[in-house]
Structure 1
């Protein structure tokens, strides 16, 4: 009971911090029907600036970091992203009333990472004076790309298996498959290196990943400390507070979309972030025992696992799986997954206090 009271006290304390307070304020504004609105172009600009800042910070730290200390959590981030998608394929994607492609699309977003949630977590840890490795932001692409590639590959393979497939020789002697209509080349339906390469390219070209990788490259290959300290770092908290306000309003609005899909998505959106976060927390502890990964690093790896992609993931999924229901995967991710993940930051801080 004492442990639960301590965690509850940590949760209440963290909810009063500016980052989480702005998220809740945004949800309240939307619930009250306020006509408060921030243009989409400004929202995108804020996201790009935040990701450039996170990327440069990570790049500067990687330049001075021990290789093993970085590669171990990076490898674990990949495994966590893949594991989350496979968990979704065994749970949500098999739920009655949920199509497999919709379930896998949703699991893909939940395995990928929310840049804004990661930025919020960093701000909360900074406010609490909890140390974390500067290269944490560099783990984002590893988990993000691994989850999206896995989800899209599983969805493509599942769709091919479910089709009534007949294999027969084509006119030119090449093997083809098809059910009705024109035959489809086996390689096109069943996936392969070409499909994986296409998914990787689309993901890496997304605005969020592009900005983050650009910041990483600048931090590793150049000397951006002057502009970083004079421009990006001072703006970070103010821009993040506006982003949290926007996300709170967006989350409340997206909740209405969940009425169009099965109630399984509501349960998944509420429970999955916590379970995924615990999986990430366990991976972080493994990295801690192997390389001395910090308490803050463990918390942020848990938060990345708990988060669901709200920037890079949706356009990637929409482009690769156009048949998936966007109301299902975007509504679940943005409407429930994102606020649950952000509000779980105090929970993981409380768990870390017990362990460290």
Structure 2
């Protein structure tokens, strides 16, 4: 009964937060037939500012971190982000009725990191008096960008193969190889083109530019005076837009909603175990703290609520926002937050906190 009460309380608390509240507000406006529209140039400007802010914040964290202590956890964080997307490619993206593009976008969002969930994990550790490394925030971009880029590239590769197969069939030529996942052989030229297009896309370009400026320049003043104060307001506008879009495409999910519910409930636990395992490796080789292990598990179990949605919307516009935002923010985030005590208990059991 206590568990059910905790889940209900967490769900209510999440719905009252600006991220989910504005998303639901946008869906309600669309359901009521509102004519409210946000012009596309305004949307693009909002996304650019948001992603520049996320990149700058991450870059500043990396610049201020101890690079030697950061190296192994950063590599492991990136590998976990990639692994989560690869797991999604053979689970949610393969389920009957689920569009491969929607499945990969969902896997990408679950591979990326939620800043709010990470902050909740830090607050819990501090309340328990558990120490963690000061550079933990700098691990965020390694997992985040690795997951998003992997998801976008795999989705684009699958779409390109499907288009090529369809074209060959229409021309009377039958070719072996799949239209999704990992089948169909390796086409270096196609992969190179997709990678180039991915990094040249507006979303990834803004994210990577902010990261580079944060590391190699000194943008702290403009970050604190301009980007940080605007951030929450801009995020609320983005969620409003995505809520309206999500409602318009909700009908596409009715037949496969159970697949997303199952994935959103189980994925944070599986992903958290991956992150916990990576943290144990770092602990063994570098003395990474028990608190750091917990927070790496928290990052892996979380799903992005800031950088992920605009990045995926820009890079994979065909993907259904109802699928990846709804399953992530509506279910994945509460499960990830509720699982934080599990990672603390495991760390105490295995390492001792």
- TM-score w.r.t. the length of structure 2 is 0.75
Give the stretch that moved more between structures: 125-134 or 146-155.
Answer: 125-134
1:143: Cα distance to partner?
Answer: 0.8
The answer (yes or no) to whether the contact 2:203–2:310 under 8 Å persists in 1 is yes
- Residue 268 of structure 2 corresponds to residue 277 of structure 1: yes
1:57: Cα distance to partner?
Answer: 0.9
- Residue 147 of structure 2 corresponds to residue 143 of structure 1: yes
1:85-104 alignment runs, 5 A limit: 85-88=89-92, 91-92=94-95, 95=96, 98=97, 103-104=99-100
1:299: Cα distance to partner?
Answer: 3.3
Question: How many residues are treated as equivalent by the alignment?
Answer: 314
Residue 167 (structure 1) aligns with: none
1:214: Cα distance to partner?
Answer: 0.3
Residue of structure 1 aligned with 2:338, choices 336, 342, 350: 350
1:225: Cα distance to partner?
Answer: 0.8
Alpha-carbon distance between aligned partners in 1 of 2:244 and 2:166, rounded to the nearest angstrom: 40
The answer (yes or no) to whether the contact 2:105–2:324 under 8 Å persists in 1 is no
Deviations 1:114-150 (A, max 9, x none): 89x95xx424665897386244134222112222333
1:46-125 alignment runs, 5 A limit: 46-63=46-63, 64-65=65-66, 66-88=70-92, 91-92=94-95, 95=96, 98=97, 103-113=99-109, 121-123=114-116
Residue 336 (structure 1) aligns with: 323
Deviations 1:58-97 (A, max 9, x none): 11112214111211111111111112112245x32xx3xx
Note the residue ranges of structure 1 that are not aligned, 5 or more in a row: 165-177, 319-325
- TM-score w.r.t. the length of structure 1 is 0.74
The answer (yes or no) to whether the contact 2:203–2:315 under 8 Å persists in 1 is no
Residue 347 (structure 2) aligns with: none
> Partner of 2:303: helix, strand, or coil?
helix
1:278: Cα distance to partner?
Answer: 3.0
Distance 1:183 1:229, change over 3 A: same
Alpha-carbon distance between aligned partners in 1 of 2:326 and 2:169, rounded to the nearest angstrom: 43
Residue 197 (structure 1) aligns with: 192
> Partner of 2:302: helix, strand, or coil?
helix
Deviations 1:299-340 (A, max 9, x none): 34323379996444466557xxxxxxx4xxx23xx1232122
Alpha-carbon distance between aligned partners in 1 of 2:306 and 2:158, rounded to the nearest angstrom: 21
RMSD over equivalenced CA pairs, Å: 3.6
The answer (yes or no) to whether the contact 2:55–2:207 under 8 Å persists in 1 is yes
Residue of structure 1 aligned with 2:258, choices 253, 267, 282: 267
Distance 1:296 1:37, change over 3 A: farther
- Residue 306 of structure 2 corresponds to residue 302 of structure 1: no
